[in-house]
Amino acid sequence: MAKVRKWLGICKNDSIMQLFRRILVASMMLIGCQSAFAGGDSYDVFVPISKYIAAGDAESLSAWFADNLEISVMSTTSNSSKNQATQILKFFFEKYKPRTFEINHTASGQNSKYALGNLNAGGETFMVTIFVSMCGQSYKIQQLKIDRIR
């Protein structure tokens, strides 16, 4: 009990209310640390991104775009603004209506992640490469590449 008192900074003269406050603060700190770790690497940024690609929803997907990103659709590559990239994807999704999208491989490094997946759209299969990196407090798509599989 003495170790617990020392860890919580409790003196023998503390009132019950002070003791309760210290225990409450210590509990909140532990809960805060636990939720911070739970949201870290265990959060899969590719779950919502995959959902929007499978649905052909360029507008919702654009929320994940960096302000400027590299977008490549069937070997046509450009460095685009968020709005330009959204229009490129809208055009692609209109021409090739997505049916399914499945991520086959993911990897991560310090503050960055990438995924490779297959998109079945418009009766064809495409390889999709997505590269995201940490921007502030969230991941943003830095590079999106869509290539027809032959």
1 in helix, strand or coil? Answer: coil
- How far are the Cα atoms of 8, 24, 32 from residue 18, in angstroms, in the given order? 11, 10, 21
Contact 111, 132 (CB under 8 A): no
**C-alpha closest to that of 4 among 31, 29, 26, 28:** 26
Residue with tokens 């969230």: 138
Residue 16 C-alpha from the chain's centroid: 44
pLDDT of residue 127: 97
Helix ranges, the chain (H): 2-8, 16-39, 46-55, 58-62, 82-95
Check if CATH label 3.10.450.50 holds for domain 46-148.
Answer: yes
Which pLDDT tens digits describe the chain residue by residue (150 residues)?
A: 555 445 445 555 555 555 555 554 455 544 443 333 334 455 689 999 999 999 999 999 999 999 999 999 998 999 999 999 999 999 999 999 999 999 999 999 889 999 999 999 999 999 999 999 998 889 999 999 999 997
Structure token digits, residue 77: 């590559």
Residue 31: predicted pLDDT: 45
- Residue 28's CB is within 10 A of a number of other CB atoms, namely 10
CB 71 within 8 A of CB 144: yes
pTM: 0.71
Helix (H) or strand (E) holding 34: helix 16-39
* C-alpha torsion angle, residues 46, 50, 56, 61 (rounded to 10): -10
